Structure 1
């Protein structure tokens, strides 16, 4: 049975899960997989993020990186599997992800040269296109949806620390909105009004 959402048709979760497991295993066996982890682990100091990682309770860029990387590379394997099984349907492959996992996928896809080499060696296509995401600003993933079904069938239970549902994501973001507004950061990080001018020495 296929999931059909508006004009989006995706293969049965079990079929995608089987292929995603194979792709993930191939990714892990790739000679540059460890380098991909290393580059993403070091990326945190260069990433400005107001409402992605900070929705994780007591977020720690160093301590949380390993589990986020694991969840995100698995999610990328799922996307690649959907893309392959739908004959290159980019919209179908851009499955909903929880915000922290989506943010980590930005760190992953920033390693463009390395990922291009991996794609060539593995014969797969990594997928990440912002204009194909199902909700503005992310947060459309939710418990029990298509992504969740595939992930659970392929890799087991999700880690609830990072797989935060849509309603809870919005609740936490509203808390952050209030905190940030007090220092001049509004519109969820799109507008910053903090005095930066200095007088001449």
Structure 2
């Protein structure tokens, strides 16, 4: 873990707003948004999006896309202010982080937008922190930039852990072990539900 001091939340908030406006103002942003949302056929996650209560892809995709953009802007702002990628991996809520993966899958578009705007998109799975908590640093930065984050998507870490436990029990009841990471289905017979 990096030992570089985190920048003041208000400074990160101001920088994040500029970064987000720049991303959205890029001529390739509409294509990037469409490609990220079109990625929906591959959004097969058992422990990220499903922790959102009453999750529905078509209803939740657009607002969650906005939250993913804001998360990337916050991390890019911390990086711009510290020049340290480990420090920039600030805590992000699990569903929001999951959506950033759909964005990162649009590598060429996102890279062109970032390069044109002179920003660095920060994400490395082995360094990411999905232990977001209301009242923490990320929450403070977000709130100062855009107001209160939507609690539907910005779930506290402990609540995510609880909901993952509920999901794991349900998955286990249909033969899916380790929250979808394994199963004993041989597909020879239809599974009775």
Task: Please give the secondary structure, in 2, of the residue aligned with 1:133.
Answer: coil
- The structure 2 residue matched to 1:62, chosen from 55, 58, 62, is 58
Q: Does 1:14 align with 2:10?
A: yes
Instruction: Give me the whole-angstrom Cα distance separating, in 2, the residues matched to 1:181 and 1:76.
Output: 34
Q: Distance in 1 between matches of 2:174 and 2:186?
A: 10
Q: For the residues of structure 2 that align with 1:6 and 1:23, how far apart are their CA atoms?
A: 23
User: Structure 2: where are the runs of 5+ without partners?
Assistant: none
Structure 1 segments of 4 or more deviating over 4 A?
A: none
Q: CA deviation at 1:6?
A: 7.2
Contact 1:101 1:162 in 2 (8 A): yes
2:150 equivalent among 143, 151, 159: 159
**1:76: how far off?**
0.6
- 2:20 corresponds to 1:24: yes
Label 1:6 to 1:80 Cα distance change in 2 as closer, same or farther (>3 A): closer
Partner SS, residue 174 of structure 1: helix
Cα gap change, 1:8 to 1:189, in 2 (>3 Å): farther
Query: How many Å apart are 1:194 and its aligned residue?
Result: 1.6
User: 1:185 and 1:7 mapped to 2: Cα distance?
Assistant: 40
CA contact (8 A) 2:175 2:184 kept: yes
Q: Classify 1:6/1:41 alpha carbon distance in 2 versus 1 (closer, same or farther; 3 Å).
A: closer
Which residue number in structure 2 is paired with residue 187 of structure 1?
178
| Equivalent-residue separation in structure 2 for 1:6 and 1:95 (angstroms) | 11
Deviation of 1:127 after TM superposition, in Å, equals 0.7
Return the alpha-carbon distance in structure 1 between the equivalents of residues 162 and 150 of structure 2. 19
Is the partner of 1:132 in helix, strand or coil? coil
Tell me how many residue pairs correspond in the alignment.
189
Q: Give yes or no for the alignment of 1:33 onto 2:40.
A: no
How big is the shift at 1:9? 2.1
Residues 4 and 87, structure 2, Cα contact 8 Å, conserved in 1: yes
Query: Is the CA contact (8 Å cut-off) linking 2:79 and 2:85 kept in structure 1?
Result: yes
